[in-house]
Amino acid sequence: MNVMDYLLKKIDKEPVHMGLIDPNEQKPKESGELARILESVGSDAIMVGGSTGITKKNLNDTAKSVKDNTDIPVIHFPTNATAISPHVDAIYFMSMLNSRDLDKVIGQQVKGSLSVRKLGIQPLPMGYVIVEPGMTVGEVGNADLIPRNDPDIALSFGLAAQYLGMRLFYLEAGSGAPEPIPLEMVKTCKENLDIPVFVGGGIRDPDQAKKMAQAGADVIVTGTVIEEDSEVERKLKRMIRSIKQV
Ligand code: 1GP
């Protein structure tokens, strides 16, 4: 399966949902179960990754379990070049464009590129930016956070990503953020970019997810809600339905 084609076709039709499974949050077997649930409620792809505690072993075991339990694409959301798994369909080949740390912008990408080629994983070129409050990923990424009230800065990064040839642009508020990406920022980016806009961080309920889709988000990523909620299946079902109705 060509994952980029799959995504672009889906996005062309309707807003897309992706569930993020963090290998550091549960055992591989439970991750497999979450993957099964995500597919059954209509999620379009599964991202595997996290900001801290990712090892070759927990990544590999989790990715394998996820892959064994679902037919929708499994995409690695990488932390660095140390842990890259062959048990995925694709990897976001991403640059944290607003990091102060050159290693996050281009260093890890250079370190990991040969592995991606050798393992035959499809790279999905992506510009990734961290918006306030940024949470853990903003800290470990040493990000110069994009102010919440400045959509034009976010757009400037998005245009730079697009002009550099990146195929996807991701606005990240940070996992567990008290508020998701501001709607005005999503709208500004969507209206002015030709590449798909991803949003993630702090999206917990169907209403928030729907507003993101209405503002123009092409891909809505949820992570924490999968890990925390006891009625995860019911909640995800409602969330995905609300996104797809937009
Ligand atoms: C992944 O930050 C998102 O980019 C996930 O955020 O855990 O808050 O859903 P949540």
CA of 180 to the centre of ligand 1 (A): 9
Mean pLDDT, all residues of the chain: 96
231 — pLDDT class (breaks 50, 70, 90): confident
Domain ranges of the chain: 3-244
What is the residue with the minimal CA distance to atom 4 of ligand 1? Answer: 200
CB of 42 within 6 A of ligand 1: the answer is no
Nearest 5 degrees, angle CA 16-CA 21-CA 27?
A: 155
The string of pLDDT tens digits covering residues 127-140 is 999 999 999 999 99
Token pair belonging to 136: 């853990």
CB of 175 within 6 A of ligand 1: the answer is yes
Provide, rounded to the nearest whole percent, the portion of the chain with pLDDT above 90.
93
pLDDT at 230 over 90: no
CB of 176 within 6 A of ligand 1: the answer is yes
pLDDT at 229: 61
CA of 243 to the centre of ligand 1 (A): 16
Closest ligand 1 atom to residue 174 Cα is: 2
The string of pLDDT tens digits covering residues 75-91 is 999 999 999 999 999 99
Q: Are 153 and 180 in contact (CB under 8 A)?
A: no
pLDDT at 100 over 70: yes
Superfamily of domain 3-244: FMN-linked oxidoreductases (3.20.20.390)
